[in-house]
Amino acid sequence: MANRTIQITVGAITNWANNSQSYYGLALGVNLVYGVSRNNYFNGKDGRTYRLHICRWATTNSILVRIDNPLILSSEPYTSYTTPVFDSITINGTTFNPSATSSGSTVNGSALLFWDSVSTNPFGTTTGVIQDITFSGVSDGPYGAEFSNSSGKLMLSMIDRVERFVVADTTPPIPPYGGSIFVSVSGMENNDSWNVYAGVNGPPESITRNPFDITKSTGGFTITNLQTGSYLPDTAYDYWVLRT
Amino acid sequence: MSFGLTIENFDGRTTLDENYSHIYPRTTITVNGGAAYPGPGHQSGDLVFANSYNDGYIAIGSLTNGGAASYMTTSEGTSRFPDSFGYFVYFASAVAGNIVPAGSGYGLEVYDSSSQLIYTTDLSQTFRVVASGSFAGAAQNQPATELSFPSAIGEFEDLTKIYVLLNNTQHFRLNDPVFEEFESIIGYRFEYTTGTYIEPGKRGRVHVCNQAYWASEDAFLGIGGRSLDYLIVELI
């Protein structure tokens, strides 16, 4: 067993129009969305991978933790997702035990756990600050690699998707009426991990006057100049090939 | 692959290997609509990421037909696609050639087979992808549509950290008395949430646009031209 710390950026909704309550922490919908988490997954004691959907304090003096897993059923008691999943949860230094939940519920895909009579907001009221939420007694993982910089900011997380630089260049001028050129890119495939971004090399003009097409293929891509108007210069295109 | 380093995210996408350089937000400028594109500090081959810090459209435009490129502006008259008060812009490059290896300290550095630094943890900022894809817009002469992010019901918690790729965008406006008024945009629209209950001005959404206004129809319609390969990132 281990600890799993989820880093969040605290968000808030204050004086919500529906009930005049205020909320601080992390919530990913459906009704309210506030706070940010780069990687909010953890593996519970029961071996399942959960996503932290909500962790917030409300001015009703309650803490709500909502965790998601597609195998959670509304017919199950919420207590199936307290001590069987984690030993404790610590929010910015304040620890809450699953055996001390005040109430809870389940819906298909989620379990909701409440701790009442929590008069102190463990998140504080300053939004935009980074805070830690630590589940103790959980399993290692999920597997992957994460890197932080020397300030402790998570720079690359397990759930991030990034674009990486392959090449940037400019084509020779291509004649209109379907003129084309094949640009060779080593290793390129026609799938969504290869992205080609291109624009006209030169001043912007009417879109109807400089349409072009990009076709990805094995080993490169083809740019086709589809201009058919009366003003028909050859056109060069700037392109950037990225991988994700 | 028979050797080297590959790290995948939970979705099976490669986030780090020994082949391709991460994208590095090298320098930033703040510009107003109409400023020369791309602006000071730009290097050849840079990716240009922009954030509109108020409601408004963003794309590469031109003050005159065929004139020099600029950050889009309404200075040609009453624009059908209003620009913002201004834009935050990052010029982004490959790490290779732009970051000097630390040489000491701790952290992780990855080099490619040419001994070029392609990843380092020694950065203060980076980008992660929020969304990418291709958007054709509505069919020609059909009512315009937009592609919205995060979704129809969601919002970004802090829209000021969301940047869009400008390099392949385009804004064009023709308002000549001889011809009809025509204005088109292949670009983006920033929409900040208005309201009084949560940090007004930070939450919001981004919309991908590929449409035009025709005065003769008095309507916003699909272009039926090229698709926009959009890229939306979050500054971390």
Supply the ipTM of this predicted assembly. Answer: 0.90
Query: How large is the greatest C-alpha to C-alpha distance in chain A, in angstroms?
Result: 77
In sequence order, what E strands does B84-227 have? 87-94, 109-111, 117-120, 127-135, 146-149, 162-165, 170-174, 182-192, 204-214, 219-222
pLDDT at A156 over 50: yes
CB contact under 8 A, B225 and A162: no
Q: What is the pLDDT of residue B61?
A: 85
CB contact under 8 A, B122 and A149: yes
pTM given for the model: 0.81
- Tens of pLDDT, residue by residue over B149-200, are 887 666 787 889 999 999 999 888 877 777 778 888 999 999 988 754 445 5
Q: What is the pLDDT of residue B77?
A: 57
Which chain A residues have a beta carbon less than 8 Å from that of B233?
163
Nearest-Cα residue of chain A relative to residue B174: A206
Tell me whether residue B170 is in a domain: yes
- Tens of pLDDT, residue by residue over A29-65, are 777 888 988 788 898 999 888 999 999 999 999 999 9
Mean of the pLDDT values across residues A163-191? Answer: 94
Which chain A residues have a beta carbon less than 8 Å from that of B46?
168
- Tens of pLDDT, residue by residue over B46-72, are 999 999 988 899 999 877 766 788 888
Q: What is the pLDDT of residue B1?
A: 44
Domain extents in chain A: 2-138, 164-243
Mean of the pLDDT values across residues B20-32? Answer: 94
Q: What is the pLDDT of residue A44?
A: 93
Mean of the pLDDT values across residues B199-208? Answer: 79
End-to-end CA distance of chain B: 30
Going by C-alpha positions, the residue among A70, A139, A77 that lies closest to residue A112 is A77
Question: Residue B59 belongs to what domain range?
Answer: 24-91+127-235
Element counts in chain A: helices (H) and strands (E): 0, 21
Going by C-alpha positions, the residue among B204, B203, B207 that lies closest to residue B187 is B207
Q: Which residue has the higher pLDDT, B1 or A81?
A: A81
Q: What is the pLDDT of residue A38?
A: 78
* Least confident among A26-40, A66-80, B138-152: A26-40
Decide if A64 contacts A30 (C-beta within 8 A). Answer: no
* Least confident among A113-117, A118-122, B94-98, B200-204: B200-204
CB contact under 8 A, A145 and B20: no
Q: Which residue has the higher pLDDT, A83 or A158?
A: A83
* Least confident among A4-13, A155-164, A227-236, B213-222: A227-236
Mean of the pLDDT values across residues A69-83? Answer: 92
Number of domains comprising chain B: 1
- Indicate the SS3 state at residue B202: coil
Of A16, A33, A226, which is closest to B197 when you measure between CB atoms? A16
CB contact under 8 A, B45 and A240: yes
State how far the Cα of B124 lies from the Cα of A201, in Å rounded to an integer.
Answer: 32
**CA of B9 to nearest chain A CA: how many angstroms apart?**
5
Is the CB of B159 inside 8 Å of chain A's CB atoms?
Answer: no
CB contact under 8 A, B13 and A14: no
pLDDT at A186 over 50: yes
State how far the Cα of B86 lies from the Cα of B58, in Å rounded to an integer.
Answer: 9
Best mutation target among A186, A191, A207, A216 (most B Cβ atoms within 10 Å) is A207
Of B9, B10, B126, which is closest to A155 when you measure between CB atoms? B126
Tell me whether residue B82 is in a domain: yes
Nearest-Cα residue of chain A relative to residue B184: A207
Query: Counting every residue, how long is chain B?
Result: 236
Q: What is the pLDDT of residue A206?
A: 62
**What does the block give as tokens for A50?**
């959960």
CB contact under 8 A, B10 and A159: yes
What share of chain B in percent tops pLDDT 70? 90
Which chain A residues have a beta carbon less than 8 Å from that of B132?
163, 195, 244
pLDDT at B2 over 60: no
Tell me whether residue B167 is in a domain: yes
- Indicate the SS3 state at residue A99: helix
Mean of all residue pLDDT scores within chain B: 86
